[in-house]
Chains A and B, each alone.
Chain A
Amino acid sequence: MKRRLSIYHIYAIPTTAYLLLFFYIPIITIIVYSFWIGGPFYEFKPGFTLENYVRFLTSRVTQNVMIVTNVVAFLSFLATLLVAYPIAYFLARVLKGDTGLRIILLMLIPLEMNYLIRIFAWRNILGEQGFINNLLLTLGIIDEPVRIFFHSMYAVIIVIVHNALPYAVFPLYITLRSIPQNLYQAAMDLGSNRVSTFFRVTLPLSMPGIAVAFLFIYVPMLGEFAIPALVGGKTFLLGNLITRQYLDVGNWPYASAATISLLIITLIASFLVFKYMGVRRLYE
C-alpha cells in the first residue's frame, strides 16, 4: 500500500526542521571532522584518516580516564539509587492518592534553576569554610575542617546525586506505582515476610525504573565536564578530556573522534539496557 502525504504532515515540519538543523547536521559535521587530519592549535586539514580513532582508543590517557570516569559514574549512580529508592518507595507505596506525584513536582522546582548556578551554589556549601564544615565544627562533630567535601571526587558525586535525584525518583515512582497490589497479597498469603517480598517481588518488578534511572544518570555522566571542572579539583573525566581538545588544544578532529567513540559506547550501553532490563514494560 502506498502511503500518501496528507495535510497533517505539515505539523511535522517544524520539529523535523529543528532536528535537522540543530541535531543531525551538527552530528554529521562532527562525524566528518573525526576523519580529518588532526593537529594542535587548529592546524587540522580535510582528509580521511582513522588515526584519531586509533589514537583515542589506544592511548594510555584514554584508558586511565575511562576507568576513572566509569568509577565516578557508577558510584554516582549507586549513591543516587540508594537515596532515591526509599524516597520513591515512600511516595509510591506509603502515601495515598496523588500526594506522591505532587511531592515529585516540588522536587522538580530546583531544576528550574540554571544548572551552572546550582553547581556554583555547591561551592559555597562544600568549601573548607563552607556550610557543611561550619555546621560540623559548630556541632563539635569534627575538630578541624574536613577537606574531602571540596575539590575532590566525593564532591563530584555529591553534586551529581543532588542533580540526578529527580531523574531517578520519577521512573522509580512510576514502576513502583504500577506493581499490582494483589501481588503483595499473594506473596503474604504464600508466607513471604516483608524483606523477602521486597527482594523477590518489589525489586525485580522495579528493574525497569532502575534501568531508566541508569540511562538518565550513568550515560550523561560519561560526558559530564562542568561538575568536575567546578567542584572536582583534580578529577579529570572523559568530558574534560574532550572539552580540552576542543577548546584549549584546538584539535577538533581528535576531539570529534573521541566524541563519536563516546557516542557509540553509550548507544551500545543504552541498547543493552533497553533490551535486557525490560524498559519496554514501562510504556506498554
Chain B
Amino acid sequence: MKRSISGQSKPVLVVATIVALIVGAVGGFFVGGAGAGVVTVTSTIERIKTITETVAADGAVITMTVTQTLTTTLVSTVTQAPAVEVESGRLLLFTWEEEATDAFLNPFREKYPQVQLETAIYGDQDEMVAKLQAGFRADVIAPCSDYIGILLDLGLIQPIDVRLLDNWLDMFPELWAAPGVVVDGEVYFIPTNIGQEGIMYRTDKIQREITSWNDLWDPEFAGHILMPDDPKISIAIAALALGFKDPWNLNEEQLQQVKEKLIEQKPLVLKYSDEPDVEAAELMAAGDVWISVGWIPEVNELTSEGIPVKYVSPKEGEFIFMCGNSIVKGTQMPVAAHKLVDNFLAPHVQTAFADPEEFGYWVTNKRVVEEMIDPEVVEAAGLDKVLEVLQNAVFEEAVPNYDLWISVWEEVLAA
C-alpha cells in the first residue's frame, strides 16, 4: 500500500522524516524529501528486511548509527515536550481479553488515580472495527498492524504524540519502519507484542510429526480439524498449503485454486470458528478437536491444564502478527490515553508478554529485553532477534483485493 504525505508541521513529521531519511540512506526503500514534504512509505516487510540485511553485512556500526541518530533527535524533541497534565475522568480501553488484566492495568491506576480506567473486550479486529463504526466510544484500542490501514481509512484513530510516551525511546528503533507505525509522517500505532500463528495439535491423538499446513488436509483427522471462520487467515493457510509464496497477494486464478482447496478440505473440518483462540482451546480440551490453527499462549494454557498439546511452526511459514495500541479519534482524554498506550510499553507488561510460560511473544521494548529479562530466556526465545523474525515470517498484511477474498470465503462456507 502506498501513501503519500501532505505537508504538516508537527514535530513528529520532522522526526519521521529523519527516520525516513536514515532508513532511506541505509536501505534505499524510502524516498525522502524533508522540505517539500514528499515522503513515500512503501511496503513494510521489505524495509525491515533491508535494514537487517545491511546490518548483517556491515556489522554493528550501522546499527549504532541508526540507533544513535534516532536517539539524539528524539531526546532533543522530547526535552521540548510541553508540560501537560493527565486529565481526570473516565477512560475506556477496548482490547483483547488477555490484555485487560489487573496485572497489566493496576500500575496505571495507581499512577493516575484521577483516571477511572474501564475496559471492554473484543474477540477479533473485525468486531472492534464494527463496534467503533457503530458509534461505540472508546479511547484506546489494541489493533494489530494489518488493521491500521482500515482504521485510518475509516478515520477512527488519531496521531500519537510520542513526546508523551516515557518508554518510547526504549523501543527497538528499527520498529519505526514496521508496518502501521508511521503513516503519512504521523505515528498512529505503538507495537508492543509480536506473536506467532501456526498449528497446534493434541500429541496423544496424533502420533505422527506435524510439519506442514497440508496436515490440516489429512483425511486421518477427519472431523477433528478446526479452521478459523476468517477469510483472511483461512485463505492464507490454503495459499501456503498450495505452495504460494506470498499469501496476501493472490490473483483471481490463485484464489480459484484456493477455493477448490478449501472446499476439498470441508468434509474433514469439524467447525469454522468465529473465535478460534477461545474455541480451539475449549474443543481441544474436550477432545473434539485434534488439530487447529494455534498460538503459543493457548498452548501454554492447555499444557498447564494437563492437556498434551504442541505448537508447530509449519515449514511453509507461520504467520506473524504485531499488535499494540492506538488512540481513538476524538478522545476526550488525550493525555491519559497517551499514558495508557505508554503503559503497554512499560516493563511490567513487556516482561509478562515476553515470559515464555505466559504469552511467549516477542516484545518491542529493547531496554526490557537487554536489562530486565534473564539472558538465558532472551537467548532461548530469540527475544533480541525481533527483526529477523519479521524478516523470515509471513507477516500479516492488509489484502488488496479483500472483497474477492470475502466472496471466495462465503462460497466455501455455503458449499
Q: Are these two chains actual partners, yes or no?
A: yes
Chain B: minimal CB distance from A134 (Å): 12
* A266: min CB distance to chain B, Å: 20
**Among A42, A64, A234, contact of B129 (Cβ-Cβ < 8 Å):** A42
Which chain B residues numbered 24 to 60 have a C-beta less than 8 Å away from chain A? none
CB neighbours of A233 from chain B (8 A): 269-271
Say yes or no for B153: interface residue by CB 8 A criterion: yes
Inter-chain contact A250/B130, CB cutoff 8 Å: yes
- Give residues 137-156 of B contacting A (CB, 8 Å): 150, 153-154
CA distance A246 to B150 in the complex (A): 16
Q: Would A40 and B406 count as touching, CB distance under 8 A?
A: yes
Q: Mark B residues whose CB is within 8 Å of A.
A: 124, 126-127, 129-130, 133, 150, 153-154, 223, 229-230, 266, 269-272, 274, 286-288, 402-403, 406-407, 410-411, 413-415
Contact, CB under 8 Å: B271 / A151 = yes
Q: How far is the CA of A151 from the CA of B269 in the complex (A)?
A: 10
Q: How far is the CA of A68 from the CA of B413 in the complex (A)?
A: 12
Q: How far is the CA of A229 from the CA of B126 in the complex (A)?
A: 17
Q: How far is the CA of A68 from the CA of B129 in the complex (A)?
A: 30
Expressed in whole angstroms, the Cα–Cα distance for A240 and B413 within the complex equals 10
Docked Cα-Cα span, A182 to B287, in Å, equals 59
- The contact of B287 among A129, A151, A246, A249, by CB within 8 Å, is A129
Is A143 in the interface zone, CB < 8 Å from B? Answer: no
Q: Which residue of B lies closest to A62 (CB)?
A: B414
Are B126 and A250 interface neighbours, CB within 8 A?
yes
A-to-B contact residues, CB < 8 Å: 39-43, 60-61, 64-65, 68, 127-129, 147, 150-151, 229, 233-234, 236, 240-241, 244, 246-250
CB of B262, distance to nearest CB on chain A (Å): 12
The CA-CA distance from A42 to B133 in the complex, in Å, is 8
The answer to whether A151 touches B270, judged by C-beta atoms less than 8 angstroms apart, is yes
Neighbouring A residues of B129 by C-beta, 8 Å:
41-42, 250
Determine whether the beta carbon of B410 is less than 8 Å from that of A40. no
A43, B153: Cβ atoms closer than 8 Å: yes
Q: With a CB–CB cut-off of 8 A, which chain B residues contact A129? A: 286-288
A250 touching B410 in the complex, CB below 8 Å, given contacts A151-B288, A234-B269 = no
Q: Would you call A41 and B402 a contact (CB within 8 A)?
A: yes
The residue that A64 contacts in the complex, of B150, B153, B415, with Cβ under 8 A, is: B415
B415 surroundings in chain A (CB, below 8 A): 64
B226 smallest CB distance to A (angstroms): 10
**20 further contact pairs, Cβ within 8 A, besides A39-B403, A151-B270, A234-B270:** A41-B129, A41-B154, A41-B402, A42-B133, A42-B154, A60-B411, A61-B407, A129-B286, A129-B287, A233-B269, A233-B270, A234-B269, A234-B271, A234-B413, A246-B130, A248-B126, A248-B127, A248-B229, A248-B230, A249-B406
Give the residue name and chain of the A residue nearest to B132 (CB).
A42
Known A-B contacts A41-B129, A41-B150, A42-B129; A61 and B411 likewise in contact (beta carbons under 8 Å): yes
The answer to whether A128 and B286 touch across the interface, beta carbons within 8 angstroms, is yes
For the complex, give the distance between the alpha carbons of A192 and B41 in Å: 88
Tell whether, in the assembled complex, residue B414 and residue A64 are in contact, meaning their CB atoms are under 8 Å apart. Answer: yes
How long is the Cα–Cα vector from A120 to B415 in the complex, in angstroms? 27
Q: Which residue of A lies closest to B131 (CB)?
A: A247
State A151–B280 Cα separation when bound (angstroms).
13
Residues of B within 8 A of A241 (CB): 410, 414
CB contacts (< 8 Å) of A249 on chain B: these are 126, 406
Shortest C-beta distance, B152 to chain A (Å), equals 12
Cβ-defined contact, B414 with A236, below 8 A: yes
How many angstroms from the CA of A151 to the CA of B270 in the assembled complex? 7
Q: Are B410 and A128 in contact (CB under 8 A)?
A: no
For A127, what are the chain B residues with a Cβ–Cβ distance below 8 Å?
286, 288
Q: Which of B272, B406, B414 has the most CB of A within 10 A?
A: B414
The listed residue (A128, A150, A234, A250) touching B272 by CB distance below 8 A is A234
CB-defined contacts of A250 to chain B, threshold 8 Å? 126, 129-130, 133
Nearest Cβ distance between residue B295 and chain A, in whole angstroms?
A: 20
Given A41-B402, A234-B266, A241-B410, are A128 and B126 also a contact pair (CB < 8 Å)? no
15 pairs of residues in contact across A and B, judged by CB atoms under 8 Å: A40-B402, A41-B153, A60-B411, A60-B414, A61-B407, A68-B414, A128-B287, A151-B270, A234-B269, A236-B414, A241-B410, A241-B414, A247-B127, A248-B229, A249-B406
Q: Which residues of chain B have C-beta atoms less than 8 A from A40's C-beta?
A: 402-403, 406
Hey, which chain A residues are within 8 Å of B411, CB to CB? Answer: 60-61
A256 to B129 CA separation, bound complex (whole angstroms): 18
Chain A residues, Cβ within 8 Å of B266 = 234
User: Whole-angstrom distance from the CB of B387 to the nearest CB of chain A?
Assistant: 30
